[in-house]
Structure 1
Amino acid sequence: MQTVGELMTRSNLVTLTETQNLAKAEEMLRLHRIRHLPVVRDGKLVGLVTHRDLLKAAAQRAPSQTLAASDVMVRDVRTVRSDTPTREAVKLMLDNKYGCLPVVGADGALVGIITEADMVRYAQHLIEDMDRRSLAAEYEA
């Protein structure tokens, strides 16, 4: 059975702290070409800032107003563990229209993130594998 731990991004995990400002968040999203930033305190997940959160904040704040990640982050973030079956994570993402699920350890420490992009890459791998099998079956016939 495929697990979240086999597909998640764990290296070069890009995160924010609660006190970092939204300009830094925007810069990180742009530089790393990502849409989700876990917010951590002492290595533990405390929130999530998305590209959509930044757009909403930009539309609602005065140009001179400086906001921190803690001002816009979602605090009640649904998470999974690395041993969560991929099938369960996909269902959770689809049912709730989540673009990502942070992956945490038993102690609440952030260990990775699984995103729609990770799932699409996995789907691509499965499709390529099915195509190879189909071609092999045609060749044998």
Structure 2
Amino acid sequence: MFQVKNIMTKDVFTLNQHDSLSAAKDLMNLARIRHIPIVDDAGRFAGLLTHRDILAATISELAGIDRETQDEIEAGIPITEIMQTDVVTVSPDLSLKEAARLLLEEKYGCLPVVCDATLCGIITEADFLRLTIDLMDAVEPEE
């Protein structure tokens, strides 16, 4: 049986719950990701910050605030103020079918993978797309 641990991303970009909105925006832009698992000082999973959460917390350019002031404000907003804490997590032993069902039916963009309360990976829609491409490569004849 295919399990989450077979395709999950193990080297996950994370932030600490004490980091700022500014740090989260920088990480998302640099790493080109849409989900950041948040961990506490002991590495335990504490929550999730999504691109949508950041957009909701960011001051609109229409507010007429200059970039420098906006950066100062965002540097002072702790992630704990905007992160989601009621996040569904999964075990690395969960079947891929069940993980896919959760993503699809609940409209989640990712599922943090937790081992004994510690973040050990993340599975995203992109992981399933990679799997789909690999499977198609395996069954399609070479041209």
TM-score bracket for the superposition, by shorter chain length = 0.7 to 0.9
What displacement does 1:118 show?
A: 0.6
Q: Distance in 1 between matches of 2:58 and 2:9?
A: 28
Q: Distance in 2 between matches of 1:56 and 1:129?
A: 41
**Identity over aligned pairs, percent:** 40
Q: Where does structure 1 differ by over 6 angstroms across 4 or more consecutive aligned residues?
A: none
What displacement does 1:129 show?
A: 1.5
What displacement does 1:131 show?
A: 1.1
Structure 2 residue runs of 5 or longer lacking an equivalent are none
> RMSD in angstroms over aligned alpha carbons?
1.9
TM-score of the pair, normalised by structure 2: 0.86
What displacement does 1:99 show?
A: 0.6
Alignment of 1:1-141 (within 5 A): 1-11=1-11, 13-41=12-40, 42-59=42-59, 63=70, 65=73, 66-105=76-115, 107-132=116-141
What displacement does 1:97 show?
A: 0.6
Give the residue type in structure 1 aligned to 2:13: V
Q: Distance in 2 between matches of 1:6 and 1:31?
A: 26
Bigger mean CA offset, 116-125 vs 61-70: 61-70
Q: Distance in 1 between matches of 2:44 and 2:19?
A: 16
Give the residue type in structure 2 aligned to 1:48: L
- Indicate the SS of the match to 2:2: coil
Q: Distance in 1 between matches of 2:136 and 2:53?
A: 33
Q: Deviations over 1:12-62 (max 9, x none)?
A: x11011110011001111111111000001111110001111001014798
- Indicate the SS of the match to 1:81: coil
Q: Distance in 2 between matches of 1:18 and 1:45?
A: 10
Q: Deviations over 1:77-103 (max 9, x none)?
A: 101111100000000000111110000
Q: Distance in 1 between matches of 2:80 and 2:4?
A: 27
